[in-house]
Structure 1
Amino acid sequence: MLDNMAVILFRPKYPENIGSVARACLNMGCENIILVAPQNFDMDKALPLATAHARHLLEHARIVDTLEEAVRDFNAVYGTTARTGGWRKGIMSPATLAGAANEKMRDGGRVAVLFGPEDRGLTNDETKLCTGLVTIPTNWENSSLNLSQAVLVILYECFKRSLDKPFTPAGPPEERLTTVEEQEVLFENMREVLLDIDYLRDTNTEYWMLPVRRFMSRINLKRNEFNLLMGICRQIRWATGKK
């Protein structure tokens, strides 16, 4: 059901949690797991929690060294967070995320949900690579969830939505969606252009780019649209330099 979705675990600390995540992924039909620099990965400790049914998910899990490498080929990446406010605005609920993810997958896109380390979650710098952020509402007296619980809740919402509007590929899309790596290239070019025309402040430009990022995250940006915006950026930079 969620063939075009992946779960990315960034620097997970406990192999037992990785095993439990594998079982949750199997339950919800999401068989793509990416581990980014796992801190103490031990297959013998992870397997009992995964059970024999999800063993193949652990054996075929992709292990990479950096977050940039993990997300670069996806068209959208949604980061999970328990913290709100400040840099973290426009945060979605799991149900809202499920709708956005399902729409992108129906357009032929690949979507990932990113989970940070169990002890601290994702930093502001790490969330910059995310298309959007999602939080799971909980009792305010105890907002901490086990990693596999969080994975299960979010995948459950995505699984439900896929049943309402199942993704059925009908050949390649007319124009593919942009990847996260391409989106980052576009954001950097837009940032430089906005600096050139004095729209952005020289200090803390990443913060002032947040509204732009949030706006762009609501668009299923296609490759031809990426080329169009990159061309506009180049022309503006040429014009400002000439002036």
Structure 2
Amino acid sequence: MSTKHPRLNNIAIVLVNPKYPENIGSAARAAWNMGITRLIVVADEYPDHERMVKLATHNAAHLINSMEFHENLRDALEPFSQIIGTTARKGRHRTEGNSPREIMEIILPLLPKNQIAFLFGAEDCGLTNDDLKHCQLRSAIPTADFSSLNLAQAVAIHCYEIFHAVVHEQKDIIPNPKLATSYEVEHMYDHLEKSLQQIDSLQKKTHEYNMRDIRQFFGRIQLRSKETKLLQNIFRNFLSHTSKPENTL
């Protein structure tokens, strides 16, 4: 299936702190049914294998066997250039999400040259603000009564929309260039944050929100690797300059 639609190989389903191994199995089954072969789990402990395989069934058991496991989300996202956080939660400090179909229109030109991750949070609370800071886009599934779906349902809907877009909407798509990876972007943010702290531009009470707004700004720009390295060098040089003792006469 994946060889017929190779662009699906650039898609990964990332489950962050899932509570029930059975839901991982159901997610693997939904992904495999739609030609998606990469499953990543981020958790403190490796989930029970037998409970995962039981719900994956024999058709998708190999996805469980080859599943990537990480204890840290930042490490798990390093190779991805576009990250979509799925969330039904709304709040004063959360941007409004696009529907899955709208998300596919945005990412389709990126697929030929970029790896893309879809993040799904824990069954009871979803993705945290700290999880979502890594995301350039938010996806929210519209429902009749504005309630959230369970994890396996949310994964299945997104996988179907991905498959449908790749199979039926590829005509006349002009591929976008390769973007910077999350690894490159996060290192740029590290130097940017240290630079702003150096000049006391990040106040303690608003530090988190200011960095969130900065991340959203750069996320909309879609930086390339060369650009992140340029910015990182600027911030590094700034830190080096400001840390030098002042010249005295």
TM-score, scaled relative to structure 2: 0.83
Q: What is the letter of the counterpart of residue 29 of structure 1?
A: G
- Verify the 8 A CA contact 2:80 2:181 in the aligned structure 1: yes
Q: Please identify runs of 4+ aligned residues in structure 1 that moved more than 4 A.
A: 195-200, 235-243
Tell me which moved more, 13-22 or 201-210. 201-210
Query: How far apart are residue 189 of structure 1 and its match?
Result: 2.1
- Verify the 8 A CA contact 1:12 1:39 in the aligned structure 2: no
Counting matched residue pairs gives 237
Q: What is the letter of the counterpart of residue 3 of structure 1?
A: N
Residue of structure 2 equivalent to 1:136: 141
> Unpaired segments of 5 or more residues in structure 2?
none
- Verify the 8 A CA contact 2:184 2:229 in the aligned structure 1: no
Q: Could you tell me which of 51, 61, 72 is aligned with 2:57?
A: 51
Residue of structure 2 equivalent to 1:124: 129
Q: Could you tell me which of 68, 81, 92 is aligned with 2:87?
A: 81
Residue 23 in structure 1 maps to residue 29 in structure 2: yes
Looking at structure 1, the residues matched to 210 and 85 of structure 2 have their Cα atoms a distance apart, in angstroms, of 20
Looking at structure 2, the residues matched to 105 and 40 of structure 1 have their Cα atoms a distance apart, in angstroms, of 30
Residue of structure 1 equivalent to 2:77: 71
Looking at structure 2, the residues matched to 230 and 40 of structure 1 have their Cα atoms a distance apart, in angstroms, of 35
Tell me which moved more, 17-26 or 191-200. 191-200
Looking at structure 1, the residues matched to 216 and 116 of structure 2 have their Cα atoms a distance apart, in angstroms, of 17
> Unpaired segments of 5 or more residues in structure 1?
none
Query: Taking every aligned residue pair, what percent have the same amino acid on both sides?
Result: 39
Residue of structure 1 equivalent to 2:179: 177
Cα deviation, 1:185-214, whole Å, max 9, x if unaligned, reads 212322333445565445322201222211
Residue 232 in structure 1 maps to residue 237 in structure 2: no
Q: Could you tell me which of 84, 95, 104 is aligned with 2:101?
A: 95
Decide whether aligned partners of structure 1 residues 51 and 236 sit closer, same or farther in structure 2, where only a CA change above 3 A counts: same
